[in-house]
């Protein structure tokens, strides 16, 4: 795929039947990636370590467990980093793949699998190394996003790249749809690359570390909308955290209101940021900074997903 590729592993005559593979992951995307890997090389012996994520709304624990049983993979829940370490050292897998994992790994742990420890990062590395890369890219209004399959090393998201997929993003698209499209592209290309890894014939390319951009970890309060930003920035902020993420939020009469979707409007509005300007069944227009405004379409309020006008009931309301 790249003209400057370099071999990262010697050729091997070992067959898949002798390979012990370990999958570290969770959630629907992790489940989909595991199925892709397992079915592309069915003779590989698989063990799955799944974090205990009962409290995560995105958990796909039951589906993952059922898939493991169907494909004949050993399945174990782990609740701590030390428990994961014990399993890794006892299993001594030949190769490891990570997707939807919570814990960083030491240099010693990374060196255990002789065929490498591989993972997916939802950015075009070396851009957006660190936490929530796709969220940050969409907050910034990037017109092109992507995902990278790479070999994990000691440095944060610094390892050599196996392959990347790219996706142009229209300003009307939310992060859920972007994730689905990226996942489709990864799953399409991954099986052939995985067979190269198992056969010891994989080639990668190094990252240009001079072009690295880093992301800070996000906490819940980072999703609070700043209505003094212009409408384009507010809109990017909303769509970057749309479902399956917890959604950008504001307050309405002292209660949290989560904005699931919104659309840009071109009219000029002189208003106080966060001021409700107009209500209709099509949406609620809210003032933003720089004499701009945005139309809120769907919200989550008082435990219900409803149209914005059913939650915001008066033009005298203020958000945030």
pLDDT value of position 262: 97
pLDDT value of position 103: 85
Q: Which fold has domain 6-214?
A: Rossmann fold (3.40.50)
- Whole-model pTM: value is 0.89
Nearest Cα residue to 55 out of 99, 102, 23: 102
Residue ranges matching CATH 3.10.25.10 in the chain: 220-311
* Top-level class of domain 220-311: alpha beta
User: Tens place of pLDDT for every residue, the chain, 320 residues?
Assistant: 333 333 333 333 344 457 999 999 998 899 999 999 999 998 899 999 998 887 777 788 899 999 999 999 999 999 999 999 999 999 999 999 999 888 889 999 999 999 999 999 999 999 999 999 999 999 999 999 999 999 999 999 999 999 999 999 999 999 999 999 999 999 999 999 999 999 999 999 999 999 999 999 999 999 999 999 999 999 999 999 999 999 999 999 999 999 999 999 999 999 999 999 999 988 999 999 999 999 999 999 999 999 999 999 999 999 98
Residue ranges matching CATH 3.40.50.170 in the chain: 6-214
Per DSSP, the residues of 244-291 read: TS--EEEEETTEEEEEEEEEE--------TTBEEEEETTEEEEEETTT
């Amino acid at each position: 795929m790249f003209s400057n590729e370099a071999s990262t592993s010697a050729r091997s005559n070992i067959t898949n039947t002798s390979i012990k593979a370990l999958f570290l992951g969770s959630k629907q995307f992790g489940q989909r990636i595991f199925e892709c890997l397992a079915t592309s090389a069915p003779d590989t012996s698989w063990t799955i370590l799944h974090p205990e994520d009962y409290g995560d709304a995105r958990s796909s624990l039951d589906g993952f467990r059922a898939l493991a049983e169907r494909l004949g993979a050993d399945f174990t829940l782990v609740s701590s980093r030390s428990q994961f370490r014990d399993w890794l050292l006892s299993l001594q897998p030949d190769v490891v793949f990570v997707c939807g994992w919570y814990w960083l790994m030491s240099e010693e742990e990374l060196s255990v699998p002789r065929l490498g420890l591989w993972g997916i990062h939802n950015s075009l590395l070396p851009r957006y190394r660190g936490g929530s890369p796709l969220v940050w890219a969409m907050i910034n209004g990037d017109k092109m996003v992507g995902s990278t399959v790479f070999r994990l090393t000691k440095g944060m998201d610094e390892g050599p790249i196996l392959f990347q997929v790219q996706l142009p993003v229209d300003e009307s698209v939310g992060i859920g749809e972007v994730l689905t499209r990226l996942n489709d592209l990864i799953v399409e290309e991954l099986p052939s690359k995985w067979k190269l890894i198992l056969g010891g014939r994989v080639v990668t390319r190094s990252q240009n570390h001079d072009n690295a951009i880093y992301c800070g970890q996000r906490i819940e309060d980072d999703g609070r909308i700043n209505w003094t930003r212009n409408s384009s920035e507010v809109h990017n902020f909303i769509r970057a955290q749309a479902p399956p993420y917890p959604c950008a939020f504001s307050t309405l009469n002292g209660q949290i209101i989560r904005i699931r979707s919104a659309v840009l409007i071109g009219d000029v509005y002189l208003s106080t940021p966060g001021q409700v300007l107009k209500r209709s069944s099509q949406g609620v227009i809210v003032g933003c900074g720089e004499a701009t405004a945005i139309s809120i379409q769907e919200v989550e309020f008082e435990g219900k997903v409803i149209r914005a006008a059913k939650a915001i009931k008066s033009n005298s309301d203020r958000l945030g």
